[in-house]
Amino acid sequence: MRAQGNPDWTEPFPPHHIVGNIYYVGSRGLASYLITTPKGHILINSSLESSVPLIRESVEKLGFRFSDVKILLISHAHWDHCAGSALLKQQTGAKYFVMDQDVAVVESGGKTDFQYGNSPDNYYKPAKVDRKLHDGDKVSLGGTVLVAHLTPGHTKGTTTWTVNVNDSGKTYHVVIVGSPNVNAGYKLVGNTQYPQIAQDYEHTFKVLRELPCDVFLGAHGAYYGMEAKFASMKTVGGNPFIDPDGYKNYVADREQAFRTELKKQGGEPTEK
Ligand SMILES: [Zn+2]
């Protein structure tokens, strides 16, 4: 996202259970997820460097140990989701697994990003990647298996995570959307830094349309209406995070926004 950031990115938010072994441990504006297992935990999104103590506090409030985080994953290599990775690795000893196409970006601290590589405001502390992921790769720990889906465009290695979890005897398909958004200033046509950007977005929407989804999550809580759903946990019965229609509507809305922008920039759709 943008270097200026948003005040709600650094505002603490109550950590909470989502479904199965998945918990929200992010701030009001930046989503981080803790996936707990008997063999240690997986954390998705280190967020800002200043988020790391907040994430730690949230993990501990839920009764888990920060030092039990064994694997760190991200939604994509933009500073609002990965600037804290070096610090988080240092504090927990977690191994850092990143999609191949985003590895150079996180290891250069943002300097090789196709859009923001020349904006020092968007730089962050580089973090070493311990495992390069590829589309369809599985990340397994203590009986939980996450699948990395390459959903590029927003960054070249944007990753949508899926995991099936059990909750009260039922299995739920969980989708953590990496980001389908076209940022302000993105060139979808004639982009010399990223020539296949439009085709990559097309691929992303095809993937997102086809993923089975019961529980809809994403890199920012705003994608899935986190605050309203969290508020309704106390008042409405059932689990508000189970929202297959919300997922379909979100993907359709973001695809429409992409197509509108592509048309505005004079591009032609390459597949449908
Ligand atoms: Zn981003």
Q: Spell out the per-residue pLDDT of the chain, length 272, in tens.
A: 444 578 999 999 999 999 999 999 999 999 999 999 999 999 999 999 999 999 999 999 999 999 999 999 999 999 999 999 999 999 999 999 999 999 999 999 999 999 999 999 999 999 999 999 999 999 999 999 999 999 999 999 999 999 999 999 999 999 999 999 999 999 999 999 999 999 999 999 999 999 999 999 999 999 999 999 999 988 877 899 999 999 999 999 999 999 999 999 998 766 54
Question: How far is ligand 1, taken at its centre, from the CA of residue 114, in Å?
Answer: 12
Question: How far is ligand 1, taken at its centre, from the CA of residue 138, in Å?
Answer: 23
Report the C-alpha dihedral over residues 126, 127, 129, 135, rounded to 10 degrees: -70
Question: How far is ligand 1, taken at its centre, from the CA of residue 158, in Å?
Answer: 9
Question: How far is ligand 1, taken at its centre, from the CA of residue 230, in Å?
Answer: 23
pLDDT at position 238: 87
CA distance 205 to 259: 11
Question: How far is ligand 1, taken at its centre, from the CA of residue 78, in Å?
Answer: 5
User: Which distant-in-sequence residues (6+ apart) come within 8 Å of 265 by Cβ?
Assistant: 187, 188, 189
Question: How far is ligand 1, taken at its centre, from the CA of residue 250, in Å?
Answer: 17
pLDDT at position 143: 97
Q: What is the pTM of this model?
A: 0.96
CA distances for 102 relative to 42, 48, 210, 263, angstroms? 19, 17, 23, 27
pLDDT at position 235: 81
pLDDT at position 163: 98
Question: How far is ligand 1, taken at its centre, from the CA of residue 92, in Å?
Answer: 25
pLDDT at position 271: 53
CA distance 221 to 4: 18
Question: How far is ligand 1, taken at its centre, from the CA of residue 102, in Å?
Answer: 12
Question: How far is ligand 1, taken at its centre, from the CA of residue 1, in Å?
Answer: 4
Name the DSSP class of 228: H
pLDDT at position 104: 98
Question: How far is ligand 1, taken at its centre, from the CA of residue 182, in Å?
Answer: 9
CA distance 11 to 223: 17
Query: What are the start-end ranges of the H helices in 17-77?
Result: 51-61
CA distance 270 to 101: 22
